[in-house]
Amino acid sequence: MSRIGNLPIQIPAGVTVNFDKNVVTVKGPKGELTQELKDDISIEIEDGTVKVVRPSDQKNHKSLHGLYRALISNMVVGVSEGYKIVQELVGVGYKASNQGQLLELGLGYSHNIFIELPREVKLETVTERGKNPLIILESHDKQLIGQVAAKIRSFRKPEPYKGKGIKFQGEVLRRKAGKSAASK
């Protein structure tokens, strides 16, 4: 029995959920998202809640039940509240700047890295003296913002000795001791 799949999703004020022909559409103040469902899975919308229904207790139906419930829940939260990811550039001389949707990263390579972000993701860079530069991403689509953040992080992952690289704000890195003096 899927515990996640059986939980009803509360629809906040200002959000509408429509379901027809295996496509769920969620509209809200932050935007609109759609998700296609498999033929077997359906949803019921009543009294300000959404409930995901599966036809049987087969293993694939159980897994899709929980998956689609989580995806629809993320869509509802995204169009009502939105998602925000803050990344921090740790390292001497690392910098980030943006012009509109074009992000420029200086990460210690021989050249700067330029990335054009999708228009659904709102980009902001913050550089304060004495603090690490920050990249702030905001969007209503959880999957897209996570994918963009992972791509940015892939240019310079944090290394375990000094912790230099692009990390998520608040992330705790496992650190290694490094070399120790040889005993005689």
Kindly report, residue by residue over 85-95, the tens digit of the pLDDT.
Answer: 999 999 999 99
- Alpha carbons 110 and 36: distance in angstroms, whole number: 44
Q: What pLDDT score was predicted for residue 182?
A: 61
Backbone phi, psi, residue 68, to 5°: -65, -35
79 vs 180: which has the higher pLDDT:
79
The two structure tokens encoding residue 141: 């689509």
Which domains occur in the chain, in start order? Answer: 3-80 (3.90.930.12), 83-168 (3.90.930.12)
Task: For residue 28, list its beta bridge partners.
Answer: 31
pTM of the predicted structure, to 2 decimals: 0.88
Residue 1 has pLDDT above 60, yes or no: no
- Alpha carbons 119 and 122: distance in angstroms, whole number: 7
Q: What is the largest CA-CA distance in the chain?
A: 77
Taken in order 61, 66, 52, 82, the sign of the CA dihedral is negative
Residue 27 has pLDDT above 90, yes or no: yes
pLDDT in tens, 87-129: 999 999 999 999 999 999 999 999 999 999 999 999 999 999 9
pLDDT band for position 166 (cuts 50, 70, 90): very high
